[in-house]
Amino acid sequence: MSIPSEMACKELVELVTEYLEETLLPTDRQRFEEHLKDCPHCVIYLDQIRQTIRTLGRLTEEDLSENAKQDLLRIFRDWKKEPPTGPTVTCDPK
Protein backbone atom coordinates (compact mmCIF):
# COMPACT_ATOMS: atom_id res chain seq x y z
CA MET A 1 0.00 0.00 0.00
CA SER A 2 2.83 2.38 0.70
CA ILE A 3 3.99 4.53 -2.16
CA PRO A 4 7.78 4.87 -2.12
CA SER A 5 7.68 8.18 -3.94
CA GLU A 6 5.14 9.74 -1.59
CA MET A 7 6.15 13.27 -0.82
CA ALA A 8 6.61 14.43 2.74
CA CYS A 9 5.52 17.84 3.98
CA LYS A 10 9.18 18.70 4.43
CA GLU A 11 9.88 18.03 0.78
CA LEU A 12 6.85 19.99 -0.32
CA VAL A 13 8.04 22.99 1.67
CA GLU A 14 11.40 22.70 -0.06
CA LEU A 15 9.81 22.61 -3.50
CA VAL A 16 7.05 25.17 -3.09
CA THR A 17 8.88 28.05 -4.75
CA GLU A 18 9.82 25.91 -7.73
CA TYR A 19 6.25 24.69 -7.95
CA LEU A 20 4.90 28.23 -8.07
CA GLU A 21 7.56 29.29 -10.55
CA GLU A 22 6.66 26.22 -12.61
CA THR A 23 10.25 25.09 -12.74
CA LEU A 24 9.47 21.81 -11.03
CA LEU A 25 10.18 18.58 -12.89
CA PRO A 26 6.94 17.01 -14.15
CA THR A 27 7.41 13.98 -11.88
CA ASP A 28 7.96 16.17 -8.84
CA ARG A 29 5.06 18.36 -9.81
CA GLN A 30 2.81 15.32 -9.94
CA ARG A 31 3.97 14.15 -6.51
CA PHE A 32 3.50 17.68 -5.19
CA GLU A 33 -0.10 17.77 -6.40
CA GLU A 34 -0.75 14.27 -5.11
CA HIS A 35 0.44 15.37 -1.69
CA LEU A 36 -1.88 18.37 -1.73
CA LYS A 37 -4.86 16.05 -2.20
CA ASP A 38 -4.07 14.31 1.08
CA CYS A 39 -2.67 17.13 3.14
CA PRO A 40 -4.88 20.14 3.95
CA HIS A 41 -2.02 21.69 5.90
CA CYS A 42 0.12 21.96 2.82
CA VAL A 43 -2.82 23.36 0.86
CA ILE A 44 -3.10 26.12 3.46
CA TYR A 45 0.65 26.60 3.37
CA LEU A 46 0.67 26.86 -0.42
CA ASP A 47 -2.19 29.33 -0.26
CA GLN A 48 -0.28 31.50 2.18
CA ILE A 49 2.81 31.43 0.00
CA ARG A 50 0.65 32.53 -2.94
CA GLN A 51 -0.69 35.40 -0.85
CA THR A 52 2.84 36.36 0.12
CA ILE A 53 3.82 36.42 -3.53
CA ARG A 54 0.80 38.59 -4.33
CA THR A 55 1.83 40.96 -1.54
CA LEU A 56 5.52 41.08 -2.36
CA GLY A 57 5.19 40.53 -6.08
CA ARG A 58 7.74 37.76 -5.90
CA LEU A 59 9.18 35.16 -3.61
CA THR A 60 12.82 34.26 -3.32
CA GLU A 61 14.62 31.58 -1.42
CA GLU A 62 15.70 34.24 1.04
CA ASP A 63 12.05 34.87 1.91
CA LEU A 64 11.75 31.23 2.79
CA SER A 65 14.67 30.98 5.11
CA GLU A 66 15.72 27.76 6.75
CA ASN A 67 14.29 29.01 10.04
CA ALA A 68 10.94 29.73 8.45
CA LYS A 69 10.86 26.23 7.03
CA GLN A 70 11.63 24.73 10.42
CA ASP A 71 8.84 26.80 11.97
CA LEU A 72 6.41 25.53 9.38
CA LEU A 73 7.38 21.94 9.96
CA ARG A 74 6.82 22.42 13.68
CA ILE A 75 3.38 23.80 12.93
CA PHE A 76 2.63 20.81 10.73
CA ARG A 77 3.51 18.53 13.62
CA ASP A 78 1.26 20.48 15.97
CA TRP A 79 -1.55 20.28 13.46
CA LYS A 80 -1.30 16.54 13.49
CA LYS A 81 -1.52 16.44 17.29
CA GLU A 82 -4.48 18.79 17.60
CA PRO A 83 -7.55 19.45 15.49
CA PRO A 84 -6.88 22.26 13.06
CA THR A 85 -8.20 25.57 14.27
CA GLY A 86 -7.26 27.47 11.16
CA PRO A 87 -4.01 28.65 9.72
CA THR A 88 -1.46 29.74 12.25
CA VAL A 89 1.21 30.51 9.68
CA THR A 90 1.11 34.22 9.17
CA CYS A 91 2.97 36.48 6.88
CA ASP A 92 4.13 39.87 8.05
CA PRO A 93 1.64 41.18 10.59
CA LYS A 94 -0.11 44.36 9.54
Task: Name the residues that contact Zn ion, by CB under 5 A.
Answer: 9, 39, 42
- In the bound state with Zn ion, the residue whose beta carbon lies nearer, of 11 and 63, is 11
- In the bound state with Zn ion, the residue whose beta carbon lies nearer, of 57 and 72, is 72
- Provide, rounded to whole angstroms, the least separation between the CB of residue 36 and Zn ion: 8
Residues whose CB falls within 8 Å of the CB of residue 88, separated by 6 or more in sequence, listed in order: 75, 78
Q: What's the Cα-to-Cα distance from 20 to each of 1, 14, 24, 35, 53, rounded to whole Å?
A: 30, 12, 8, 15, 9
- Provide, rounded to whole angstroms, the least separation between the CB of residue 42 and Zn ion: 3
Residue nearest to Zn ion (CB): 39
- In the bound state with Zn ion, the residue whose beta carbon lies nearer, of 9 and 59, is 9
- Provide, rounded to whole angstroms, the least separation between the CB of residue 71 and Zn ion: 15
- Provide, rounded to whole angstroms, the least separation between the CB of residue 56 and Zn ion: 23
- Start-end of H helices in 1-94: 9-20, 26-38, 40-56, 66-81
d(CA 42, CA 36): 6
